[in-house]
Chains A and B, each alone.
Chain A
Amino acid sequence: MLNVKQILETMDYGPAPEASGHVTDWLALHGAGFGHFIDGAFTPSRSGKQFEVANPANDLVIARVAQGEAADVDAAVRAARGAFPTWSKLSGHARARHLYAIARLIQKRERFLSVLESMDNGKPIRESRDIDIPLVARHFYHHAGWAELMASEFKGYGPLGVCGQIIPWNFPLLMLAWKIAPALAAGNTIVLKPAEFTPLTALAFAEICREAGLPAGVVNIVCGDGETGAHIVNHTDVDKIAFTGSTEVGRIIRQATAGSGKKLSLELGGKSPFIVFEDADLDGAVEGVVDAIWFNQGQVCCAGSRVLIQEGVAPRFIAKLKHRMEGLRVGDPLDKSIDVGAIVAPVQLQRIRDLVKKGKDEGGTLLQSSGPLPAKGNFYAPSLFVDVEPASTVVQEEIFGPVAVAMTFRTPEEAVQLANHTRYGLAASVWSENINLALDTAARMKAGIVWVNSTNLFDAAAGFGGYKESGFGREGGREGMYEYITPDWLKKLPLLESEPSDHYVLPSDSSEPAGIDRTAKLFVGGKQVRPDSGYSYNVLNSRAKSVGTAGLGNRKDIRNAVEAAVKASSWGGATAHNRAQVLYYVAENLSARADEFALRLRALGHTPKAAAQEVDLSIGRIFYYAAQADKYDGRVHATRSRNVTLAMNEPFGVMGVLCPDEAPLLGFISLVMPAIAMGNRVVVVPSSRHPLSATDFYQVLETSDMPAGVVNIVTGEREELAKTLAEHDDVAAVWYYGTRAGCGRVEKFSAGNLKFTWTNQGGAFDWSNESQGQGEHYLRLSTQVKNIWIPYGE
């Protein structure tokens, strides 16, 4: 130890260790090993197996934890199922009291949890103390509020049942809070699996649940690895899976849950852009990079890892960044003067090293801080790659370590192009003092969270979640609550029966008499086109007589339709009023041809009354979505002071819509109208059996100023076309209505680009029932919420 006189010369910071005595005592108390938390009690694994948990800062084993297997997951799910009836029937107020008690206890244990988190995960105590744990408490407070307000704010909605939740190791307790708080608020019960590297704060949380008097079985925690997680994902008595982790595992979970009826939310990887315009506060932006990529050792899914700098300021910015990087202190996570702690585990450290090596091999120049690294433990120096191109591996792959890549751009246009040119879409950070440029860029980011002149701001009141292959669903805020509730009417529907789908392309031996022959074509890019196959198929009525033919579309027609829809992107940028006007015009023109549409329905077997009613309801429904076009708007979330957090409802872009057999016109209208009212362009596959109401409809579209490519109609073998749409990487979302098996297929095929899917889960809707066939529900399914954070002040 230096004396005061010597320190006066060096003026170093010296060691500033956070005391860890209470935590080591607690760990010693559990020296025999931690059990799972099932049905209100800590229990060892049925198999007796345990795994070791190490402190990544020194590789020392600090705990042994039960290794969950199928039997343990089963017991946990049983406990959760058992607790569900009572918990879900508690008043919102009663649940609010429980959440409030948990929030208070977390605050009372703040320092304990912070120290434990840093020892388990390796993150600096500054972060666990000032960021993670306060956000955890905040999340429970916020959701105590949602519990209180459930009945009034989510009328007609109820909990899902048992939620299986699988969380990552980068923000162990915070991710637990993001999962558990909304689930509990809504009245669900839970089986949660913490990451195998970092289960300890989850177990401390289990003790808090017990202390808070949470009823047994409401929260169950099963520890283990990916295999344990798979047992949860595949468990037949689980109603919802919420997962945060890698895109790779998210894809597996999407496939595994396909067709199971489980609701799914995925919060996956990212390679988020950090855009620095020449008129930015450069020093401010440098600190932004520090908070973006050198925060939590860069093990942050929304890390601003691609630094895009406008050419004119790039040399200066990089120089400032290098200088700043040099000042970062890497070391003992429990030291209060440490900026960068330990990488969570040796395997992660190796992954970072491998990727960095690849980056160098590919020609990148690696800049690294030269400060000392501890001799022991898993540490990696803050790093910055320059001389990299969009084609470089390190620019495309999520490194999940303290390694940024820097590239330059010339114009705002190019910045947007570079920023969006990724399979991910989690977050973006935009730095400019020009409000026009900043907001324009924020609006154009294909990402779920955009921070203007800031980065990595979080709050329980704002939704968090991604676009594209960063997953779907939101956590936090009102939008996050919808991931844990479902409309009551959806819960008790009869199942659709599967229908044979034979398509006779040969001349029909029995036709209903008709007038002048009408040729139903496909409708692509605003034009009637013949199917690529050159075939048509017979459309039969209820008496199995042909009432006409429809084009037999194939995958190439879908390809063309998607291309047309991609090109029609200006629809999403049109004013909501403009879209409403087009919809009203559609309704007007449908009304003018109401009799003709009714006749078509009668030809299919509808009674005159039913036919007239379906046309009438369809017109009404178009009016409804025209009305909603400029009213289903976003919110301003109450997050920080001197800040607006804009929660904007943005269209997905190109959507695939697979229509029901029943209600040939109304079903088509009920699905297409909300999607386009919100600014999506759709590729619609009408019912194979009853496609002609849909093909008649393109004549209405043609006369209603509907821009080309907004609605594209491809008739044919619906299940085959559904597959092509679900697999198409340029389709952002698919809605599918059909049998349970069909729903499962679409969900499975959608895993490629992890597109958002909505299906009826095989349930039979009554399309004429207003609460089933129409409503905000469909608008919500047509949009994804983008949260734009804009701090302000001069």
Chain B
Amino acid sequence: MSVTLVPSKGDNSLYPRNKGTPLHIEWFDAIQVNLSASERRAATLVTRRSVKKEYQAAWLVKALQCIDLTTLAGDDTDARVQRLCAKARRPLRDDIVKGLGLADEPPHVGAVCVYPLMVAPAVKALAGSGIPVASVATGFPAGQTPLPQRLAEIRYAVDQGAQEIDIVIHRSQVLTQDWVGLYDEVSAMRQACGEAHMKAILATGDLKTLRNVYKASMVAMMAGADFIKTSTGKEDVNATLPVSLTMARAIRDFGEYSGEKIGFKPAGGIRTAKDALSWLILMKEELGRPWLEPMLFRIGASAMLADIERQLEHFITGRYAALSHHALA
């Protein structure tokens, strides 16, 4: 696979879009995914690679740039979202940024991800930052809402200024292998997104088998998803490395068939800097260098940022850091 670097900073309009393809069931019908083999690969991926010192610091900054800083809670308020956006703009303390040698171009997170009603305050808070607002939609997290309402929700969020929409698929269509139904719905959602980028949440914890994960990934990509995303964060099992490995391989295969580069977003349960490195290694090993940029890789997280900050402070000062020394998100 050829490695072409695409612009990494800021301008959302430069992100590649997935043109999608017709539904090709034959691209995935015979797929086999062996659980034990996938687990072995996932387990050794992260023991085969290690990044230290400057490299580790750089990789953590990269992870930070790929974060979709997220709040998806019933008690979200405008003020809460505003606070999150402030953190998104300036995730690292100035002294750390300076210590890293990045003062001329301070890093910020990949996006802020909120519920549709919170899009407006987020857009306002992020004005001029170049940080896109992502909104979950389509009856998040369960998706058990009639299709017109789900599509309307997308349109609402886009109207409010969301540049990225994280849709949830209707799991029953995967569990009953209704690929035509799934393709049609996701295509309709993609259309409803308009210019906004679409991330398709597969809720892999509900799909259970890796073969289901692979097939759902393929159908979502055929239907035009720009990203495929593991989880809502609300399922019993969220992002795991074996699931992510399976989705990455689907992205690779889809790229071979269609020529499209599709992004990947693990979400849910990713809390530590070490986790972030694991997923970056997975991206680099299975998909290659282009997937180490926010246009093709995002991590749905909130708590992870604080751990990255601490690790970076340790890199600069050589002392272990306290959480309270870093601004709250």
Chain A positions within 8 Å of B, measured between CB atoms, are: 1-5, 7-8, 11-16, 126, 130, 279-285, 287-288, 291, 323, 327, 336-337, 339, 433, 453-454, 642-643, 791-794
Among the listed A11, A13, A284, which residue makes an inter-chain contact with B50, where contact means beta carbons less than 8 Å apart? A13
With known contacts A284-B41, A327-B285, A339-B48, A7–B54 Cβ distance under 8 A = yes
Instruction: Tell me the bound Cα distance from A371 to B34 in angstroms.
Output: 29
23 contacts between A and B (CB under 8 A): A1-B54, A3-B54, A8-B58, A11-B292, A16-B50, A16-B55, A130-B44, A130-B47, A279-B30, A279-B32, A281-B32, A281-B33, A281-B37, A282-B32, A283-B33, A283-B41, A283-B249, A285-B37, A287-B40, A288-B37, A336-B49, A339-B48, A453-B37
> From A338, which residue of chain B is reached at the shortest CB distance?
B48
Chain A neighbourhood of B209, CB < 8 A: 794
Q: Which residue of A lies closest to B312 (CB)?
A: A4
User: Which of B40, B101, B102, B284 has the most chain A CB atoms inside 10 A of its CB?
Assistant: B40
Q: Which residues of A contact B285 (CB under 8 A)?
A: 327
Determine the distance from Cα of A337 to Cα of B39 in the docked complex, in whole angstroms: 19
* B308 shortest CB reach to chain A, Å: 13
Contact A16 B52 (CB under 8 A): yes
Is there contact, CB below 8 Å, between A8 and B36? no
A335 (CB) vs chain B CBs: closest residue: B50
Docked complex Cα distance between A287 and B38 (Å): 9
Residues of B within 8 A of A (CB): 1, 30, 32-41, 44, 47-55, 57-59, 61-62, 100-102, 209, 249, 284-285, 289, 292
If A281-B37, A284-B33, A453-B36 are given as contacts, then 19 extra A-B residue pairs at C-beta distance below 8 Å, sorted by A number, are: A3-B54, A4-B58, A7-B57, A8-B61, A11-B59, A14-B53, A14-B54, A16-B50, A16-B55, A126-B47, A279-B32, A280-B32, A281-B34, A283-B41, A284-B38, A288-B37, A323-B1, A454-B36, A454-B40
- Check A14 against B61 for contact (C-beta < 8 Å): no
- The verdict on A11 contacting B289 (CB below 8 Å), with A4-B102, A5-B102, A284-B41 known, is yes
Q: A126 vs B45: C-alpha distance in the bound complex, in angstroms? A: 11
Q: Are B100 and A337 in contact (CB under 8 A)?
A: no
In whole angstroms, what is the CA distance A288 to B40 when docked?
Answer: 10
B34 and A453 contact, CB distance less than 8 A? yes
Given the known inter-chain contacts A14-B55, A279-B32, A327-B285, please indicate yes or no for A4 contacting B49, CB distance below 8 A. no
CA distance A657 to B58 in the complex (A): 70
Check if A14 sits within 8 Å of B37, measured CB to CB. no
Complex contact B249–A3 (CB within 8 A):
no
Q: With A327-B285, A794-B209 in contact, is A7–B50 under 8 Å at CB?
A: no
* Nearest-CB residue, chain B, relative to A313: B30
Task: Give the residues in chain B near A323, CB-CB below 8 Å.
Answer: 1
Residues of A within 8 A of B34 (CB): 280-281, 284, 433, 453
- Structural contact, B62 and A454, CB atoms closer than 8 A: no
Structural contact, A792 and B36, CB atoms closer than 8 A: yes
User: Which residues of chain A have C-beta atoms less than 8 A from B59's C-beta?
Assistant: 7, 11
On whether A7 and B55 interact (CB within 8 A), knowing A13-B50, A283-B249, the answer reads yes
B52 pairs with A15, CB closer than 8 A: yes
What 9 A-B pairs come out closest when comparing CB atoms?
A: A284-B37, A14-B55, A7-B58, A791-B36, A336-B50, A281-B34, A16-B50, A793-B35, A433-B32
Please state if B55 and A12 are interface contacts (CB–CB under 8 Å): yes
Residues on A with C-beta less than 8 A from B284 are 11
Q: Which A residues are in CB contact (< 8 Å) with B100?
A: 4-5
The answer to whether A13 and B57 touch across the interface, beta carbons within 8 angstroms, is no
Interface residue from A4, A12, A283, A454 paired with B57 (Cβ < 8 Å)? A4
Complex CA gap A453/B57 in Å reads 38
Bound form: Cα–Cα A12–B41 in Å: 21
Q: Give the chain A neighbours of B58 by CB distance below 8 A.
A: 4-5, 7-8, 11
| Alpha-carbon separation in the docked complex, A2 to B57 (Å) | 12
| B181 → A minimal CB distance (Å) | 24
- Shortest CB distance A352–B (Å): 23
Give the nearest-CB partner of A319 in chain B: B256
**Closest Cβ of chain B: how far from A305's Cβ, in Å?**
19
Distance of A454 Cα from B54 Cα, bound (Å): 37
Please name all residues of chain A whose beta carbon is closer than 8 Å to the beta carbon of B50 when the two chains form the complex: 13, 16, 336-337
Cβ contact within 8 Å between B292 and A794: no
Complex alpha-carbon distance, A433 and B52, angstroms: 39
- Chain A residue with minimal CB distance to B36? A791
Q: Contact between B61 and A642 (Cβ–Cβ < 8 Å)?
A: no
In the complex, which residue of chain A has the Cβ closest to the Cβ of B55?
Answer: A14
Across-interface contacts of A4 in B (CB, < 8 A): 54, 57-58, 61, 100-102
Closest CB-CB distance, A445 to chain B, in whole Å? 19
A481 to B62, CA, bound (A): 53
| Set of chain A residues within 8 Å of B102, measured between Cβ atoms | 4-5
CA distance A285 to B57 in the complex (A): 34
In the complex, chain A residues whose CB is within 8 Å of the CB of B32? 279-282, 284, 433
Contacts of B51 in A (CB 8 A): 13-14, 16, 337
Q: Could you say which residues of chain B place their CB within 8 Å of the CB of A13?
A: 49-51, 55
Taken together as a complex, chains A and B put the C-alpha atoms of A16 and B33 apart, in Å, by: 32
B residues within 8 A CB of A3? 54, 101
B-side contacts of A8, CB under 8 Å: 58, 61-62
A794 contacts across to B, CB distance below 8 A: 35, 209
**Contact, CB under 8 Å: B36 / A643:** yes
Q: How far is the CB of A680 from chain B (nearest CB, A)?
A: 34
Contact check, A2 vs B54: say whether CB atoms are below 8 A apart.
Answer: yes
Task: Evaluate contact between B37 and A337: CB separation under 8 angstroms.
Answer: no
Q: How far is the CA of A792 from the CA of B34 in the complex (A)?
A: 9
Given A2, A126, A288, A643, which contacts B48 in the complex, CB threshold below 8 Å?
A126
- Whether B33 lies near A14 (C-beta < 8 A) is no
**A793 cross-chain contacts in B, Cβ below 8 A:** 35-36, 39
Find chain A residues with CB under 8 A from B49 CB: 13, 16, 336-337
Report how far A753 CA is from B112 CA in the complex, Å. Answer: 70
Taken together as a complex, chains A and B put the C-alpha atoms of A12 and B285 apart, in Å, by: 11
Chain A residues in 8 Å Cβ range of B40: 287, 291, 454
Tell me the bound Cα distance from A13 to B277 in angstroms. Answer: 11
In angstroms, Cα B37 to Cα A12, docked, is 27
CA distance A618 to B39 in the complex (A): 55
A15: nearest chain-B partner, CB-CB: B52
**Closest Cβ of chain B: how far from A616's Cβ, in Å?**
54
Chain B residues, CB < 8 A from A285: 37
User: Bound complex: CA of A454 vs CA of B36, how far in Å?
Assistant: 8
Q: Is B36's CB under 8 angstroms from A642's CB?
A: yes
Within the complex, which residue of B33, B48, B52, B62 is in contact with A11, where a contact is CB–CB below 8 Å? Answer: B62
- Provide the residues of chain A in CB contact with B1, threshold 8 Å: 323
B290 CB to nearest A CB, Å: 10
